[in-house]
Amino acid sequence: MRTVAVLGAGNMGTALAQIIAGNGHSVRLWSIETDVLEEIRDHRLNTKYLPGVTLHESVTPCWTLQESLAEAWLALFSVPSRVVRSLARDAAPHIRDGQPVLNVGKGLEQDTNKRMSEVLDEELPRHGGIAVMGGPAIADELARGVPTAVIVAAADAELATEIQDTLQNESFKVETTTDLAGVEMGACLKNAYAIALGMCDGAGYGTNTKAFLASVALAEMARLSQAIGGQPQTVYGLAGLGDLITTGFNPHSRNRTLGEKLCNGRDWQEFLRTNTVEGVAACRARDLAHRLGVATPLLHTIYDVVFMDKPPEETMRAFLRDFSYG
């Protein structure tokens, strides 16, 4: 049995805590939300983020980072990308020499366009290796044992295998790779492209159009991944294609829902104020693509709608009209 510190008791953090505990390990689950921790302690429930799931007795709520990380062999970060750096700074004094880190959030850092593994490497100098997770994993399905597959990437293949052994069970399959850049880029960009797929729904387009845009999205993801040192084929697996299908076609996806609201006249700004939508920040990868000279016309289209106030339906209609594979 091993101890894992899970930092972040949102839906995915709680679901992974449940999986790890169910695999026979001990979990120290940390959150800044005291009401969430108290409910876990008193009722074994997290109704705010993972309703209907009774948490394993081996999931222990922790009110301090020190308590969570003290005996853990692995520190698992499960927070929005915008707070990864600040959380890492707070956690750094409690990360032991050689303690590995796994990040499961998906995004690039605003302003720097750095991947989360790069952010963690900067802020946690004593770490024992950094790994990331990508792939199509809806938290409530994962926690309920619905068959799910993800991919874990680490520069150290042995670390990726150790994490695989900790997470994997008969219903949760974990693939491994050393392609950190490819997994992170696919996991980040699929959120932005899911907004475009949601725009199709809001505009009343059909499955034909969404499939067309999904194929364009994958090609752009592969090009940008390769430009930063990733393997293009990675995005055609779980971290890209698989995750894009889940995020772009699931009616409950926040990224897809935002795109739908953009094109059906509903208050998408209000939706953003009350929900974490990683795809918005992911659109800023357009700046990275521009700097690297990578053609990403669909990503630019989404950026123009979200950040440049271009009319959503008209802008998407122009893209669909003018795009050429040639």
CA of 15: how far to CAs of 55, 162, 171, 182, in Å? 9, 19, 13, 24
The residue to which tokens 């853990």 are assigned:
72
In the sheet where 3-7 sits, what is the strand order? 59-62, 26-30, 3-7, 74-77, 99-103, 127-134, 148-154, 172-177
- For the CA atoms of the chain, what is the radius of gyration? 19
Q: What is the dihedral of CA 143, 156, 117, 269, to 10 degrees?
A: -30
48 an active-site residue?
no
The alpha carbon dihedral of 216, 217, 220, 225 has a sign of negative
Find how far residue 242's CA is from the centre of its chain: 13
Asked whether the beta carbons of 151 and 134 are under 8 A apart, the reply is yes
Helices vs strands, H then E, count in the chain: 16, 8
Catalytic residue (choose from 106, 114, 190, 261)? 190
Residues acting as catalytic residues: 190
